[in-house]
Chains A and B, each alone.
Chain A
């Protein structure tokens, strides 16, 4: 690596963003090249200064004034009931699903159960094992675990995409 190439890579060197061979050759050059060493120290100094600039806070009533300028009512603090309703509305789809299951479970469960038995029988035949557990307790547990896994994966995926 030439002196000029090393100069252009000092920022990446500072953050350890270089491949190992380039990192090592700059490390070696720094021991002998005084101009490069000086540039590196300047890079470190400037970087530190840029990262630690003053942080300014606005007045606490800034938000209120922005809302007033936008012609919006200034919201009061959220009441317990409002908070509860807001959270409730966020869970409305899954709540609806739960209600449907509660009301129509009696009709749906036997059909799901026979489908589940069919799947287990088919899987057992396919892999040559005839002793797969088929008890209602096993089926209920595995279906519940499956449902929890699906809900969790959707929820985690949603949060991963939307949080910032």
Chain B
């Protein structure tokens, strides 16, 4: 589904509830997945996503349209995740990814993956590692792999130059590789 952004913005600025519902419907999965990748699955994931959309709604009168609507929403999500992470660091104990209960949170369900595939344990370890990455690397890697955003768009969201985005991605992947594949034998994949 594609939305005509200027038409949607025009309706949102008229406080059109249906337009806001359309916006939430379009971005809800993306926002939830961005939050989950940034923080790991937690009880309050949906509450945080809800807070993102409330901030979008309240912030609409000040949104000048300099950036794309999507860029603005992702920026709000990232900032909220970072702020939440700082205030809740003491209790930020992420559940182990292999815990089955983690994936059966009542409000969310995952697309069925094969839990018996060779890569399943690695994926589970990766899901647990990402929320522990240094904040700037985590943000760059998450945005790049979640939505295939360009270096330019990631730079706009993080407010950094494109060269720095590339550097964060490189270092972020190196950080992950060191912890995920420390002595992993070379995997030959066709």
A residues within 8 A CB of B7? 90, 162
When chains A and B are docked, how far (Å) is the Cα of A53 from the Cα of B36? 11
When chains A and B are docked, how far (Å) is the Cα of A90 from the Cα of B126? 47
B170 contacts partner chain A, Cβ-Cβ < 8 Å: yes
A residues within 8 A CB of B141? 50
When chains A and B are docked, how far (Å) is the Cα of A66 from the Cα of B109? 19
A123 contacts partner chain B, Cβ-Cβ < 8 Å: no
B133 → chain A, closest Cβ, in Å?
Answer: 12
Q: Select the residue from A8, A53, A70 with max chain B CB neighbours within 10 A.
A: A53
Closest to B141 in A: A50
A156 → chain B, closest Cβ, in Å?
Answer: 13
B17 contacts partner chain A, Cβ-Cβ < 8 Å: yes
Q: Which residues B77-99 have CB closer than 8 A to chain A?
A: none
Count B interface residues, CB 8 Å. Answer: 54
B residues within 8 A CB of A78? 18
When chains A and B are docked, how far (Å) is the Cα of A119 from the Cα of B57? 53
- Check B29 against A55 for contact (C-beta < 8 Å): yes
When chains A and B are docked, how far (Å) is the Cα of A46 from the Cα of B2? 31
- By secondary structure, the A interface counts as helix
Partner of A162, one of B4, B103, B110, B184: B4
CB-CB under 8 A for A42 and B184, given A58-B29, A58-B46, A58-B49:
yes
Closest to B188 in A: A41
A80 contacts partner chain B, Cβ-Cβ < 8 Å: no
Contact with B along A120-164 (1 / 0, CB 8 A): 000000000000000000000000000000000000001101111
Partner of A72, one of B17, B111, B181: B17
CB-CB under 8 A for A8 and B53, given A45-B187, A58-B28, A163-B5:
no
A residues within 8 A CB of B54? 66, 69-70
B residues within 8 A CB of A63? 21, 24-25, 28
A residues within 8 A CB of B17? 67, 72-75
Cβ contacts A to B, 29 pairs, < 8 Å: A41-B186, A41-B188, A42-B177, A45-B187, A46-B173, A49-B122, A49-B180, A50-B126, A53-B37, A53-B145, A54-B103, A54-B113, A54-B127, A56-B109, A58-B29, A62-B28, A62-B49, A62-B107, A63-B24, A63-B28, A66-B28, A66-B53, A69-B54, A70-B54, A74-B17, A75-B18, A161-B6, A162-B6, A164-B2
Residues of B bordering A, CB below 8 Å: 2-7, 17-18, 20-21, 24-25, 28-29, 32-33, 36-37, 41, 46, 49-50, 53-54, 57, 68-70, 103, 107-111, 113, 119, 122-123, 126-127, 141, 145, 169-170, 173, 176-177, 180-181, 184, 186-189
